[in-house]
Amino acid sequence: MNVYSAAIMLFLVMDPLGNVPVFLSILKDVSPQRRRPIIIRELLIALGVLILFLILGQYLLDLLQINEPSLSISGGIILFLIALRMIFPNQDGMFGYSMDREPFIVPLAVPLIAGPSAMASILLMVTREPEKTVDWILALLCAWLVTALILVSAGHLSRWLGARGLTAMERLMGMILTVISVQMLLDGISKFTATAK
């Protein structure tokens, strides 16, 4: 995996287009002038969490004695479940959140941006090729930047694409993510069977 494919995968996992309606719904009772600062703050918190996970993730795996095949299989399963929710969304939104106060960290930063699938993807990349940590940080920054641009302009994007356009984009991203998740699952099974022989 190179920087570009890693950035695309992380972008799909963060699912900014699918998160636009969720963000707008959660922030609907917040004053319009507070929305953008809240989104920027939550984006920065999510970036911090993901970078911390990228740098310390390998140590956590070593501490818990988790190997690469199990991480690949679990990451594929998590991505697959997220992809299914993108293609067949819940009536209450992807994560079923409903809040009546200003959000802080949960649910916008974690798990909507820095969710389990993003963390699993980052851990998988670092575990497979730890010598490319700088590349993974660059890929994460690229994916985060595009995600940030989309979420900061959520109101404009929602008006421009409309509800159907956002839904269609989320379904498309979900289908692409399904393929990535199945590949991760197959890679994990393949590596497990190779080491079990």
Pairwise CA distance, residues 58 & 65, whole Å: 10
pLDDT tens for 84-104 read 877 887 765 544 444 556 888
pLDDT tens for 125-163 read 888 888 999 999 999 999 999 999 999 998 887 788 787
Provide the pLDDT for residue 100: 54
Provide the pLDDT for residue 197: 67
Provide the pLDDT for residue 98: 47
What are the residues whose beta carbons fall under 8 Å from the beta carbon of 27, sequence distance 6 or more? 35, 38, 39, 103
Provide the pLDDT for residue 175: 85
- Domain layout of the chain by residue ranges: 3-189
Average pLDDT of the chain to the nearest whole number: 84
pLDDT tens for 29-76 read 788 889 999 999 999 999 999 999 899 887 888 888 888 788 778 877
Q: Which two tokens stand for residue 85?
A: 């929710």
